[in-house]
Amino acid sequence: MKFKKIILKNSLPVFLVKIPKAKSATVLAMYKTGSRYENRKNSGLSHFLEHMFFKGTKKRPTTLKISGGLDSIGAEFNAFTGKEYTGYYVKSQKAKFGIALDILSDMLINSKFEQEEIDRERGVIMEELNMYEDNPMMYIEDVFEGCLYGDTPAGWDTIGFKENILKLQRKDFLNYFSSQYGVKSMGLFVAGDFEEKNIKKELNEKFAGIKKNNYKNKIKVVEKQKEPCFKVKRKKTDQMTISLGFRSFPAGHKDEMILKLLSIILGGSMSSRLFIELRERGGLAYYVHSGAEFYSDSGYISVQAGIPKNKLKESMEVILDQYKLLKTEMVSKEEITKAKDLLSGKMILGLEGTDDFTSWYGRQFPFSDKFLSPDEFLKKMKKVSVEDIMRVSKNIFTNDRLNLAVIGDDFKFDLKKYLKV
C-alpha cells in the first residue's frame, strides 16, 4: 500500500492509496464541515443537505437515476454527517470505477436542491430524528455532549432542531453549499489498483467543477467546568441508560493513543474491567461499553450502560470505582498487552478493503494536515507504557472534568451527591 497526495488543476487536494491487485476501488469525498459549523437558525442543515445530494442533478434528475445508476454497477455507496465533517463515498468493482466517479462528481457539483424535494425530505428526517430519540442506546451520547458543551453548536444534536427541519428553505441550502462545499474545505480520497497518471487525468475531468469557496470556520469550544455536572433526559423507558465520563483532550494530542488504550482496558471488550464487574459479576447491565471521542479542540472518554431503574446509584458506584482504580493502581503488563493486541487486531481486520483505507485517511483529514499511516499508528501504540496509563488517568479523572448523562425516569435522589472520584 502506498499513500500519496496530488493536487488537481483547480487546487483540489487528492489523496491516493495505491493497493496492488485490489479488485475494488473506492472514492471518498470529505468536507471539513458539519453541525458545529451551524448556528441557532440553521442547526440541522449540514445533515439535511447530505440527504439532498441524492435527490437529483440535471444529468440524473431523480433519486432513482442516481441510486439506480450506482446499483447497476453493484456499487456500495452512502454518506455521513458528523459535528466536524461530512463524507460521501462510492465503492465499486475496478472495471466500473469510472462510472462511480462520474456519478459522485455529478452529485457533488450539479445537485439541484429542488424545493419540492426539500419539502418531501423533511418527513424522512423527522422520522430519523424520532428513531434516534426512541433508541436510548444510540441517543445517550448526544445527551452527554449536551452536558459537556451546553447550548452551543458543539452541544446540539447533529440532526438539528425540529423547528429548523420544518422550515429550512432552498436558499438556506444554496448559501451553505456555496460557503462550506469547495476546494478550501474538501479532500478527495481514492483507493485501488490504478496508474497515477490515468487516475489523475480522470479526476481532473470529473471534478473540474469543484470551485473555491468562502469557507466559514466553526466556533471553538470554551471549557469552564469547575465541578461535576449532569444532564437528565426524562423519558418513559424500561431501563436507565447512562453515559458517565470525563473531559479529556483534542485529536492530535500527545496522549491520544494512551486514552484509546485506557478506554479499551476500562470497557472496550467483553473481557474488559467494566464488562466483568458491571455485567458478569454485578448482573447490572446487558450492555456496557467505553469509548474515547476526539474533536479538533476538545474530547472526552465515557462509559455507556443500560441498567435497571432501581440500580442507578449502585451502577454509578461500580463505574466510578473503576475510574478511581486506574488512578491509584498500576495496570498490569498483561492487561496493557491485551489492550494493544485488541486494538491492533481490530485495526488490521478493519483494513481489508479499499473503502477501509479511504476511511482510515479520510477521517484524519478534518483534524490534521499530517496523516498517520497504519504502520505509524502501530509503532506509536507499542510505545505506550503502564506508567502512561496511570499518568493520564490521574490527569483527567478529576471532579472538575466529571459528567453524567441519563435517559430515563422514576428516580428521585440527588445525582450530584454521588458524582465524585
Provide the pLDDT for residue 1.
Answer: 85
The residue from 156, 173, 206 where one domain ends is: 206
216 within some domain: no
Domain range for 405:
229-418
Cα–Cα dist 222/370, whole Å: 25
Instruction: For residues 57 and 130, state if they share a domain.
Output: yes
Give 97-111 pLDDT, tens digit per residue. Answer: 999 999 999 999 999
89 within some domain: yes
- Give the residue with greater pLDDT, 9 vs 417: 9
Long-range contacts: 7-13, Cβ < 8 Å, 24+?
Answer: 8/200, 8/203, 8/204, 8/207, 8/208, 9/204, 9/208, 10/183, 10/207, 10/208, 10/210, 10/211, 10/212, 11/183, 11/212, 12/183, 12/186, 12/188, 12/207, 12/210, 13/186, 13/187, 13/188
Query: Residue 172 to residues 35, 86, 109, 114: CA-CA distances in angstroms?
Result: 14, 17, 17, 12
Q: Which helix (H) or strand (E) holds 309?
A: none
Provide the pLDDT for residue 302.
Answer: 98
Is 306 strand, coil or helix? strand
pLDDT value at 414 more than 90? no
Provide the pLDDT for residue 239.
Answer: 93
**Looking at residues 5-21, what average pLDDT do you find?**
98
Q: Is 66 exposed, middle or buried (0-12, 13-18, 19+ CB in 10 A)?
A: buried
219 within some domain: no
Instruction: For residues 198 and 236, state if they share a domain.
Output: no
User: 207, 105 in Cβ contact below 8 A?
Assistant: yes
**Looking at residues 160-170, what average pLDDT do you find?**
97
Instruction: For residues 72 and 200, state if they share a domain.
Output: yes
Provide the pLDDT for residue 51.
Answer: 98
**Order of strands across the sheet with 186-192?**
2-7, 13-18, 186-192, 24-31, 86-93, 76-81
pLDDT value at 410 more than 80? no
42 within some domain: yes
Phi, psi of 245 (to 5 degrees): -165, -165
Provide the pLDDT for residue 112.
Answer: 98
Instruction: For residues 174 and 238, state if they share a domain.
Output: no
Q: CATH number of the domain at 96, please.
A: 3.30.830.10
- Give residues with Cβ within 8 angstroms of 367, minimum separation 6: 84, 250, 251, 252, 294, 295, 296
Provide the pLDDT for residue 255.
Answer: 98
211 within some domain: no
| Mean pLDDT of the chain, nearest integer | 97
Instruction: For residues 278 and 405, state if they share a domain.
Output: yes
pLDDT value at 411 more than 90? no
Cα–Cα dist 49/158, whole Å: 12
Give 376-405 pLDDT, tens digit per residue. Answer: 999 999 999 999 999 999 999 999 999 999
121 within some domain: yes
Instruction: For residues 262 and 187, state if they share a domain.
Output: no
What percent of the chain stands above pLDDT 90?
97
Cα–Cα dist 160/146, whole Å: 13
pLDDT value at 216 more than 80? yes
Instruction: For residues 260 and 129, state if they share a domain.
Output: no
Query: Residue 398 to residues 76, 124, 387: CA-CA distances in angstroms?
Result: 44, 42, 18
Instruction: For residues 239 and 187, state if they share a domain.
Output: no
Nearest residue to 401 (alpha-carbon basis) of 277, 298, 305, 313: 298
| Structural domain total, the chain | 2
Cα–Cα dist 69/65, whole Å: 6
pLDDT value at 283 more than 80? yes
pLDDT value at 288 more than 80? yes
Instruction: For residues 315 and 189, state if they share a domain.
Output: no
Give 239-265 pLDDT, tens digit per residue. Answer: 999 999 999 999 999 999 999 999 999
Q: How many CA atoms lie within 13 A of 17 on its CB side?
A: 26
Q: What pTM, to 2 d.p., does this model score? A: 0.96
Instruction: For residues 199 and 291, state if they share a domain.
Output: no
Instruction: For residues 195 and 239, state if they share a domain.
Output: no
Give 45-93 pLDDT, tens digit per residue. Answer: 999 999 999 999 999 999 999 999 999 999 999 999 999 999 999 999 9
Give 330-354 pLDDT, tens digit per residue. Answer: 999 999 999 999 999 999 999 999 9
Share of the chain residues as helix, strand and coil, in percent rounded to the nearest 5: 45, 20, 35
Instruction: For residues 272 and 339, state if they share a domain.
Output: yes
280 within some domain: yes
- Give residues with Cβ within 8 angstroms of 40, minimum separation 6: none
Three-class DSSP labels, 44-66: CHHHHHHHHCCCCECCCCCHHHH
Provide the pLDDT for residue 241.
Answer: 97
pLDDT value at 413 more than 80? no
97 within some domain: yes
**Looking at residues 257-286, what average pLDDT do you find?**
97
Is 113 strand, coil or helix? coil
**Which grid coordinates are listed for 27?**
472514492
